[in-house]
Amino acid sequence: MNSLRVIISGGGTGGHIFPAVSIANEIRYRFPDADILFIGAEDRMEMERVPAAGYKIIGLPVSGFNRAQKLKNIRVLMKLNKSLRMARKIIRDFKPDVVIGVGGYASGPTLWMASSLHIPVLIQEQNSHAGVTNRLLAKRASKICVAYRGMHRFFPSDRIVITGNPVRKDLETVKDKDPGAMDYFGFQAGKPVLLVVGGSLGARTINHGVHKGLESLLCAGIQVIWQTGRYYYDTIREELKDKQYEGLWFSDFISRMDYAYAAADLVVSRAGAGTISELCLLKKPVILVPSPNVAEDHQTKNARALSDNGAAVLLPDNVAEEQLASVVIELIANGEQLRSLRENIALFAQHNSAERIVDEVMRIAVRDV
């Protein structure tokens, strides 16, 4: 019997890449001889992240449409046409049993051509507001795996399966207030901990809000784990170099996110789909500050899906810098509200998402394995 052959396409951001790699890892776990090929956009981060995870990738010259400067879309259409031709050749040469799309414009040409060549297609949509590419391709998909209820607004109801978004394996065994976690950050047991995360690059508004309110937070007895992100770390380190703050740990990157989550009583975060999935699984009260710089404002829509159900606090980006510290202090002092947020966010948790997505992949693959 020939080995299972799978193409996974999409990318552009870590929020697309991580689920894609998790799905690939689960396929390889079940079928060690599976041949897995990624297709992404040739100038985006997947061209580095995917090979680092141990998988082959081919880049297409595809790029997103320019909403501000319409004339530039002539070149975008030329790239799209070339990408469609390349995708057709890749699919014919590779002969996949199934093609998986994880969103982002990189997946468009691949999924379009796969469905045109009668290869089964599965879409994985991470957000509560479906992306343009996935909406356009929905009618060509055999299955659409989603993380939120109510996605029939965007997709055919009979093809939707709620699976959630894959999360890092090490987070599935996190234990609240693990003594090892408190020791790792040099924190005292019995005092509340705030975890601030803004993504690998950092979030300007969140960082400014924390910096502005740092003394107030520490004076309130709150210990702070602060991931500044790569763009902001040097500036923040310089600003804090002559100050000695007890109960503060900061870095551009947190290598032990399992410990960070274990220590945290409250989280401040952007509202990316992957992070929200982790917070739901771990039942962490969160203040979400959606980024205003994402396509179709989907982070605000992700945040509202939780905040409208009492599962998160939504703090708009345009007021976060001034209000962040006071909102944190008030919330951390309100044990009843923290408990309610924890209970409500747990209702959105989806367990074993990668496994459930691969179950759907195998149901539509064109062969019996």
Please report the pLDDT score of residue 369 as a whole number.
Answer: 43
Q: What is the DSSP letter of 23?
A: H
Which residues fall within 8 angstroms of residue 158, CB to CB, at 6 or more apart? none
Please report the pLDDT score of residue 14 as a whole number.
Answer: 65
Please report the pLDDT score of residue 201 as a whole number.
Answer: 61
DSSP symbols for 183-252: HHHTPPTTS-EEEEE-TTT--HHHHHHHHHHHHHHHHTT-EEEEE--TTTHHHHHHHHTT---TTEEEES
Please report the pLDDT score of residue 224 as a whole number.
Answer: 97
Q: Give per-10-residue mean pLDDT for the chain (369 aa).
A: 87 78 95 96 86 94 70 80 94 97 89 96 93 90 94 95 88 83 94 89 86 95 94 90 89 92 96 92 96 83 95 96 96 97 95 95 77
Please report the pLDDT score of residue 169 as a whole number.
Answer: 77
Q: Which two three-digit tokens encode residue 228?
A: 């500044």
Please report the pLDDT score of residue 72 as a whole number.
Answer: 72
Please report the pLDDT score of residue 67 as a whole number.
Answer: 63
Please report the pLDDT score of residue 90 as a whole number.
Answer: 97
Which residues fall within 8 angstroms of residue 109, CB to CB, at 6 or more apart? 60, 62, 80, 83, 84, 86, 87
Q: In the chain, where do the E strands start and end?
A: 5-9, 35-41, 56-60, 98-101, 121-125, 143-146, 160-162, 193-197, 223-227, 248-251, 266-269, 286-288, 313-314
Please report the pLDDT score of residue 47 as a whole number.
Answer: 87
Span 94-151, pLDDT tens digits: 999 999 999 888 899 999 999 999 999 999 999 888 888 899 999 999 999 999 989 9
Please report the pLDDT score of residue 11 as a whole number.
Answer: 78
Please report the pLDDT score of residue 104 as a whole number.
Answer: 81
pTM higher than 0.75: yes
Please report the pLDDT score of residue 366 as a whole number.
Answer: 73
